[in-house]
Amino acid sequence: MSHVTTHVLDTGTGRPAVGVAVTLLDAGGSEVATGVTDTDGRVRDLGPIALVPGTYRLRFATGAYYAERRQDTFFPEVEVAFSLDEAHAHVPLLLSPFAHSTYRGS
């Protein structure tokens, strides 16, 4: 069974980003699964379903995260497209109010 995990770090504070809503979308834009980052900034399993190889997107609700903290941000949401070709994909997000970065995790 394929699955997707993510980890969000708030690089502005140097701490895990707790409470970020995350949506997993398929290539057509349909919602596959949702989650919210835990106290370690992680969503440990998006979709306890069999995911087929292909293109997916993770949408992070960064605007709501920063609004809760009364912090301005340039990005109301961040969307990361990636190819799922293995049983597991880990897609971390490094986040600050005015920049973001991602990479293929392990």
C-alpha neighbours within 13 Å on the C-beta side of residue 100:
24
Which pLDDT score, from 0 to 100, does residue 48 have?
59
Q: What is the mean pLDDT of the chain?
A: 91
Q: Does pTM top 0.85 for this prediction?
A: yes
Q: 24: closest CA among 58, 65, 69?
A: 58
